Amino acid sequence: MNKIIVFLLLISISGFGQQQDIEKPIRNLFLGMKNADPLLVKSVFAENAVLQTITKEGAVKSESIQDFIASVSKFPKGELDEKIIVEAVHTEGKLASVFTPYSFYLKGKISHCGANSFQLVKQNNEWKIQYIIDTRRKENCKEIQ
């Protein structure tokens, strides 16, 4: 009986470690934004990553990763702060999907909120963000700690 409990505990610890590894590039993305660190932001993305937003009208708008990275460096440290809640992480081999509701703060005040959907790939033993699509709204935004 004790061997079964130890085995189940090891499996859950292993799964938790894998989830932390998957979340690392996402957390570094937002840390890089908050610290106005374009090099950290750039480091989280796969080579041909895609960044998209669903507009209020339902259209899908694409943004250049390079333009996004450049925009981060235009803000003073601490002015951009995206706070997330990781609601779901799904994996299959070298593919991971992460869903995160968020609140985005500009200069300490909520600017907008919504949800992010991340697709990550494991390349050279490291998780990288391949695709982000998000929603954005200004109404009914809640504080995230």
Q: What residues does each domain of the chain span? A: 2-135
Q: Which two tokens stand for residue 86?
A: 């990781």
Of the CATH numbers 3.40.1160.10, 3.30.200.20, 3.10.450.50, 3.40.50.2300, which one belongs to the domain with range 2-135? 3.10.450.50
> What's the confidence (pLDDT) of residue 145?
80
- pTM: predicted TM-score of the whole model, two decimal places: 0.86
Which structure tokens are listed for 126?
Answer: 């490291």
pLDDT tens figures, 52-82: 999 989 999 999 999 999 999 999 999 999 9
Cβ atoms of 135 and 101 within 8 Å: the answer is no
Antiparallel, parallel or unpaired: β 45-54 and 126-135: parallel
CA 16, 103, 114, 53 torsion: positive or negative?
negative
In percent, the amount of the chain with pLDDT more than 90 equals 85
User: Is residue 50 within 8 Å of 62, Cβ to Cβ?
Assistant: yes
Range 134-139 average pLDDT: 96
Predicted local distance difference test score (pLDDT) of residue 33: 98
